[in-house]
Amino acid sequence: MRIKGEVAIPFAHPVYVRSILDCLNSRGVRPSTVLESAGLAWQDICDGQHMVDFTVFRRFVAHAIQCSGEPALGLVAGSMLQPYHSPVGIAAVTSDSLGQGLQFVSRHASLVFGSVDFQLENGPRWSTLKVKPVRPLCETHVFVMQSILGAHCRLLEAIMGRSVDELIVGLPYPRPSDNDAPCLRYVRRVEFDQEQLSFRLPVELLRAPSIAADAKACLEAEQACRRLESELGRGEFVQRVRRVLLERLTRNPDVSELALDLGISSRTLVRRLSEVGVTYSDIKDDLRKTHAAWYLQHTELSMEAIASQLGYNDPTNFSRKFKNWYRVPPSKMRQTLRSGLH
């Protein structure tokens, strides 16, 4: 039920919602129960670009916290958010340095955390990433701030290859009365009652190289982010194409087949996608890339079965394409994702 005066606004990327469901599942809570209570379906969070509405997200968070019994669920779930599950995370991790990674996050993080502004400010001694909601987050405020904290701690570790003990975090809420601050599990130095969420690091640390620096992967991820932003701005038609293609991905339809299913000509389909700067191949690749990583981490499907789910007749072609996307074979990625190293 929408609160009077509240408008529908895209807020949470599906990869963020799925990380919360992963956390619930690890605590013995059936994800389907929380989804149903919030009025969500699995289809709503399968497509990598269909943002979840804020009103729905509020219901989802309320039920998730209630079912888990964990007040710091946002923090725990955020720390489980894999950087490699979104182009924003991929670009940040594969940047040349920590500083470049944080600059990228400040420009594009709203693709994951909607309605939140990220600004990176560099002073003579400290570099500070400031996080400020651009609209009231209501009762989800602490949850979202803790989620961003957990996700960024994971991101910093992925870039640096170690715990970033130099980090000082400012939190926009009071210290818990029982002095049991769950954020201290992840950050050594925390300052409460701050004006906004902030991540402060010694400015010289920004020159530290990323352990996973990859110029080609970073460029591809940045281009994907720009396409996402374009689609969010003018993307109702693109979203429709993605949803219809996702339902038919197993049979790998070409442009003319999908256009027929949409009730338009293939020429019209190509033209309308071109107007927002994307191609049919781009959309198919993005869907396959997102779902490949999802299947590897969350199912026991064989490589042959995953290839078939993604519309590949030959598993060898799938493996070759996967290595182009992630620079590692799918079997290695499955091992990495499940070991929690990234």
- Whether residues 45 and 99 share a domain: the answer is no
pLDDT digits over 245-259, tens only?
988 999 999 999 999
Could you tell me if residue 170 is inside a domain?
yes
Q: Is 11 exposed, middle or buried (0-12, 13-18, 19+ CB in 10 A)?
A: buried
Residue 239 pLDDT exceeds 80: no
Name the amino acid, one letter, at 300.
E
Please give the helix or strand (H or E) that residue 24 lies within, else none: helix 14-26
Cβ atoms < 10 Å from Cβ of 313: 10
Q: How far apart are CA 134 and CA 341, in angstroms?
A: 33
- Whether residues 98 and 196 share a domain: the answer is yes
In percent, how much of the chain has pLDDT > 90?
50
Tell me whether strands 189-191 and 168-170 are parallel, antiparallel or unpaired: parallel
pLDDT digits over 90-114, tens only?
999 999 999 999 999 999 988 888 7
Average pLDDT, the chain: 87
pLDDT digits over 317-328, tens only?
999 999 999 888
- Whether residues 103 and 68 share a domain: the answer is no
341's CB contacts (< 8 A; 6+ apart) are none
- Whether residues 265 and 156 share a domain: the answer is no
Q: State the total domains in the chain.
A: 3
Could you tell me if residue 326 is inside a domain?
yes
Q: What is the mean pLDDT of residues 17-38?
A: 88
Rounded to 5, what percent of the chain is helix, strand, coil? 60, 10, 30
Q: What confidence tier does 159 reach under pLDDT thresholds 50, 70, 90?
A: very high
Least confident of 41-55, 140-154, 156-170, 217-231: 41-55
- DSSP calls for 138-188: GGGHHHHHHHHHHHHHHHHHHHHSS--TT-EEE-SSPPPTTS--GGGGT-S
200 vs 110, which has greater pLDDT? Answer: 200
- Whether residues 92 and 131 share a domain: the answer is yes
Q: Which domain holds residue 317?
A: 235-339
| Cα end-to-end span (Å), the chain | 38
Residue 340 pLDDT exceeds 80: no
pLDDT confidence of residue 297: 79
Hunting for tokens 């309320």 — which residue is that? 62
Partners of 200 in the beta sheet?
Answer: 128, 168
Could you tell me if residue 1 is inside a domain?
no
